[in-house]
Amino acid sequence: MGLHLSAVTLVVPDYDEAVEFYVGKLGFDLIEDTKLSDAKRWVLVAPPGSKETRLLLAKADSAEQKMRIGNQAGGRVFLFLHTDDFQRDYAALRDKGVRFLEQPRHESYDTVAVFVDPYGNKWDLIQPVR
């Protein structure tokens, strides 16, 4: 089968603010930003070189969706960003003001540190052990 995960929706309060963080601070590529209506856009971002999975930045448009901003995984780490050079990317993200919740730690399976986006969603920055 030729299946793959193409996008994961991330509920955000504002499109431009989200693009500023994901593109400006995390260094993601802006794949698409298409106006669908006066209130809705189709905004896809992805790490450089990512070939399949994107983040769909979706502006909350109801009270229920607004309640989910920053807590889509119930307080657990929600997304995992793999790197081939942990120290390089950890330093670059910190220099751009990304807030890490812990110091890097070395596990048997990888080097990892948890950071948060502006909304409180937790991310793992990970360099897998090869």
Other CB atoms within a 10 A radius of the CB of residue 20 amount to: 12
pLDDT recorded at residue 86: 97
For the segment 94-116, the average pLDDT, to the nearest whole number, is 95
Domains of the chain: 1-62 (3.10.180.10), 74-130 (3.30.720.110)
From residue 96, alpha-carbon distances to 15, 20, 21, 47, 76 in Å are 20, 12, 10, 16, 24
Where does the pLDDT of residue 129 fall: very low under 50, low under 70, confident under 90, or very high at 90 and above?
A: confident
- pTM, 2 dp: 0.91
